[in-house]
Amino acid sequence: MKMDQDADPQLRIGFIGAGNMAFGIAKGMLSGNVLPINIKVSAPSSTNQGRFQELGISVTHSNTEVVSGSDLVFVAVKPHLVPLVLSEVSPHVQQKQIIVSVAAGVTLAVLEELLPENSIVIRLMPNLPCVVQEGALLFARGANAKQEDGAVLRSLLRCCGLVVEGPEAWIDIHTGMSGSGVAFVYLFAEALAEGAVKMGMPSALAHSIASQTVLGAGRLLRDSGKHPAQLRSEVCTPGGTTIYGLHTLEQGGVRASVMSAVESATEKARELGRK
């Protein structure tokens, strides 16, 4: 497996937007070798700034202050606000700065159009488990972002989870599978627990066992490197409980439903990108 380098401890990092995603990424970075003193976050209100301050990160209400004092800037506002924010900060963006957008559906072409010519732009799609350093992040480089710019981003995100680079076309697929997929897994965990409650287990216990089951199955899947079908067959004693349960799931069409869910979430992400 490729080992990512440590981040340059001198690198100054900015966040425009102080929401859940900015916080998840910042928290992940701090668990690596990034120092809070090198991070600055802007948001119009103080509502979400306190949790950054608790981590020793400085905050401001000025987006231009963040851009002027950073080598790499994450744009972490809601997608419809990206044009407003980038037109505000654009005059302050310098050629060597790396601008990383996490806004769903906002394409590299749109970002490059909103920023000065030849800007270094990267589009990143994280997911919420970045908050616990178990995110799945895919990024695509813009026309002027070199491989070494991608390497800088990788080094920063090293502790946020799995970080991969791919063509921009994969970003919407990643959004459907992993951004939205987190919610699909929660639905499955909820259904597991409700099944147990139906069979007579107390709800709180059922939910805590369901979350541990999802976590344990996920870790074993990742750490073993085995195909899920292989792990599944290892759990299936002939004529035993698991194969009976799996048969019921297949009769309910769970496999086709999950595939269709990824398909429709991907299509929706593509549709948002066209708007």
Q: Is 63 in the site for ligand NAP (CB under 6 A)?
A: yes
Contact 152, 13 (CB under 8 A): no
Binding mask 2-41 for ligand NAP (x = CB under 6 A): --------------xxxxxxx-------------------
Q: Is 47 in the site for ligand NAP (CB under 6 A)?
A: yes
Q: Is 102 in the site for ligand NAP (CB under 6 A)?
A: yes
Residue type, 210: A
CB of 271 to ligand NAP, least distance (A): 14
Q: Is 116 in the site for ligand NAP (CB under 6 A)?
A: no
Binding mask 159-198 for ligand NAP (x = CB under 6 A): --------------------x-------------------
Nearer to ligand NAP, 33 or 48 (CB): 48
Applying CB under 6 A, which residues contact ligand NAP? 16-22, 42-45, 47-48, 63, 76-79, 81, 84-85, 102-104, 125-128, 179
Residues at the binding site for NADPH are 63
